[in-house]
Amino acid sequence: MPGDRLLCWFLLLPEMQGIEMLEGDVWGHRKDLDEYFTVEDSTLEDIRALAAGGASADEVANQIQRKARIGSELIKYIAKTKITA
């Protein structure tokens, strides 16, 4: 069906562009254009230190979630991208 191919393309396009989707809240249409979430530098340093120390992504997420109100998937993403970059 043509609609199925369009849906498949729509789902594959972000992956082809290197975009990772993270589960989280979705705000209303065009209401959040100027809203950003900032992760504190100290939290980023804690994530880097734990990951560099050999902690798994799950261990990093568990420890950081106790200190900061950040979702586990975002913590894992930061650990994966900021440590390897």
Boundaries of every domain in the chain = 25-84
| Ranges 26-30, 39-43, 69-73, 79-83: which has the least confidence | 26-30
**DSSP code for 30:** T
0.85 cut: is pTM over it? no
**Residue-wise pLDDT tens digits, 48-59:** 999 889 999 899
Please answer whether residues 77 and 49 qualify as being in contact, where contact means their C-beta atoms are separated by less than 8 angstroms. no
The first and second tokens of residue 22, run together, are 């993270």
**Residue-wise pLDDT tens digits, 19-67:** 777 666 555 555 555 556 778 899 999 999 998 899 998 999 999 998 8
Phi-psi label, residue 74: left if phi above 0, alpha if psi -120 to 50, beta otherwise: alpha
Res 73: pLDDT = 87
Please answer whether residues 47 and 78 qualify as being in contact, where contact means their C-beta atoms are separated by less than 8 angstroms. yes
